[in-house]
Amino acid sequence: MMLKSKKWLAVCKTNIFPLASCPLVLAAWKKAAENQGKLLGSLQAKVDEVNAARREIQLAADTCWPSSDTTNGPLRHAFKIPANKPIAK
């Protein structure tokens, strides 16, 4: 619901939110939103990188300790791969 302009002006004129600072607050908010978007993109790239490395480690563990040998269960569990079946490649 859109506030009526008189109510909005009354809120902006209070000491809490002076009218003169409205453009400054809006500019700061836009800059913060832009920075947040950049950081989120960087975080997602790092998560993808970690997931790729994790997958390589799991495939190596699957090769070194095959699921056909039941004694490899605890080692496979340590790498978060199924103890009784090979992981999908």
How do residues 32-49 score in pLDDT, each as one tens digit?
Answer: 999 999 999 999 999 999
pTM: 0.57
Other C-beta atoms closer than 10 Å to the C-beta of 46 total 10
Give the pLDDT of residue 43: 96
Q: Name the residue with tokens 């003169």.
A: 20
Domain ranges of the chain: 21-89
Q: What percent of the chain has pLDDT over 70?
A: 75
Q: Which residues contact 80 (CB under 8 A, 6 or more apart)?
A: 58
